[in-house]
Structure 1
Amino acid sequence: MTQVTHSTFKAARRSWGVIPLLALLMFFAKTTLALAATNNTKPVVINDATSGAGTPVSTPVPADIARIRQRGELIVSMLSTDTPPFFFEKEGRLVGLEVDLARAIARELKVDIRFNREANSFNEVIDMVAQRRADLGISKLSRTLPRAQIVYFSQPYLTLNHALVLNRVAFARLASNEKLEDTVRQFKGTLGVIAKSSFTEFAKKHFPMAKVIEYPNWNAVLDAVNNGEVTGAYRDEFEIKRLLKNNPTAVLTLRTVTLKDLEDTLSIAIGVTDPTLLAFVNQVLSQQPDKLDIHKVLNALKEKP
Structure 2
Amino acid sequence: MIGKYDRLAFCLLLVLVIGIFTTSCASMTQQAHQLAPEKQAHAASPAVTSPIPASSAAPADKAELPVYTEEQLKTYPEDIRDILSRGKLRVALYQEDRYPFFYADDQGVLRGSDVDLANDIALKLGVQAEFIRTAASFNEVINQVSTGEVDIGVSKLSMTLERAKRVLFSDAYLNLKQALLINRLQLAAIGEKGDDVDPLALIQGRGERIGIVAGTSYAGFARELFPNQNQVGYPNSAQLFDGVRQGDVLAAVYDAFEISRYLKKYPSYSLQLQFVQLDDHDDDIAIAVDPKRYHLQQWMNTYLHMEKKEIQKRLENYDI
| TM-score class normalised by the smaller sequence | 0.7 to 0.9
For residue 180 of structure 1, what is the aligned residue in structure 2? 198
Q: Which consecutive unaligned segments of at least 5 residues does structure 2 have? A: 1-68
SS in 1 for 2:158: coil
For residue 231 of structure 2, what is the aligned residue in structure 1? 212
- What is the distance in 1 between the residues matched to 2:282 and 2:140? 22
- Structure 1 runs of 4+ aligned residues shifted over 4 Å read 42-45
For residue 33 of structure 1, what is the aligned residue in structure 2? none
Letter in 2 for 1:113: A
The alignment's TM-score, normalised by the length of structure 1, stands at 0.76
- What is the distance in 1 between the residues matched to 2:171 and 2:221? 20
* 2:112 paired residue among 77, 96, 105: 96
1:154 aligns with 2:170: yes
| Contact 2:207 2:250 (8 Å CA) reproduced | no
| Contact 2:74 2:81 (8 Å CA) reproduced | no
| Contact 1:242 1:298 (8 Å CA) reproduced | no
Deviation at 1:43, TM superposition (A): 9.6
SS in 2 for 1:150: coil
| Bigger Rg, structure 1 or 2 | 2
Residues 61 and 187 from structure 1, CA distance in 2 versus in 1: closer, same or farther, beyond 3 angstroms?
Answer: farther
For residue 257 of structure 1, what is the aligned residue in structure 2? 276
1:287 aligns with 2:303: no
Matching of residues 258-277 of structure 1 within 5 Å? 258-277=277-296
| Contact 1:160 1:263 (8 Å CA) reproduced | yes
| Contact 1:174 1:189 (8 Å CA) reproduced | no
Deviation at 1:166, TM superposition (A): 0.7
Residues 297 and 243 from structure 1, CA distance in 2 versus in 1: closer, same or farther, beyond 3 angstroms?
Answer: farther
Can you list the C-alpha shifts for 1:9-50, whole angstroms capped at 9, x where unaligned? xxxxxxxxxxxxxxxxxxxxxxxxxxxxxxxxx9948xxxxx
* 2:182 paired residue among 157, 163, 166: 166
| Contact 2:204 2:229 (8 Å CA) reproduced | no
* 2:249 paired residue among 224, 230, 233: 230
* 1:120 paired residue among 127, 133, 136: 136
- What is the distance in 1 between the residues matched to 2:318 and 2:264? 9
Deviation at 1:190, TM superposition (A): 1.3
Q: Which consecutive unaligned segments of at least 5 residues does structure 1 have? A: 1-41, 46-57, 301-305
Root-mean-square deviation (Å): 2.1
- What is the distance in 2 between the residues matched to 1:43 and 1:104? 25
Can you list the C-alpha shifts for 1:43-69, whole angstroms capped at 9, x where unaligned? 948xxxxxxxxxxxx962111111111
Deviation at 1:167, TM superposition (A): 0.9
Deviation at 1:183, TM superposition (A): 1.1
Deviation at 1:85, TM superposition (A): 0.2
Matching of residues 31-70 of structure 1 within 5 Å? 44=71, 60-70=75-85
Letter in 2 for 1:251: S
- What is the distance in 2 between the residues matched to 1:107 and 1:128? 22
| Contact 2:95 2:136 (8 Å CA) reproduced | yes
Letter in 2 for 1:142: S
SS in 2 for 1:115: strand
Can you list the C-alpha shifts for 1:242-290, whole angstroms capped at 9, x where unaligned? 1111111111111110001000000000011111100111111112223
For residue 94 of structure 2, what is the aligned residue in structure 1? 79
Deviation at 1:186, TM superposition (A): 3.7
